[in-house]
Amino acid sequence: MHITCIIEQVKQRRKSLNVTQEALAELSGVGLRTLREFESGKGNPTLRTLQKIADVLGMELSLNIQKIDD
């Protein structure tokens, strides 16, 4: 899944729950600046940061690693 799809899903979920960026940052323990940069597509969050955000929003984060054939 492309990062822009992840960003859009997180933003849509946050908005559907009526959670502000400020509240999400506080509840997840992620810095507000980090969250704003992520949602604007300018940030590069770690998997740990994404997991914290997903946990608060009731979302599941999964990672699928596949071998690419040459």
Distances (CA, A) of 16 to 63, 65, 68: 24, 30, 36
Q: How many residues does the chain have?
A: 70
- Residue pLDDT, tens place only, 32-57: 999 999 999 999 999 999 999 999 99
* CB 57 within 8 Å of CB 13: yes
- Token pair, residue 14, equals 């946050």
pLDDT class of 68 with cuts at 50, 70, 90: confident
Per-residue pLDDT at 30 exceeds 60: yes
Q: Does CATH number 3.30.230.70 belong to domain 3-57?
A: no
Is the Cα torsion angle 32, 24, 54, 36 positive or negative in sign? negative
Per-residue pLDDT at 65 exceeds 90: no
Helices (H), ranges, the chain: 3-16, 21-28, 32-39, 47-57
pTM of the model: 0.86
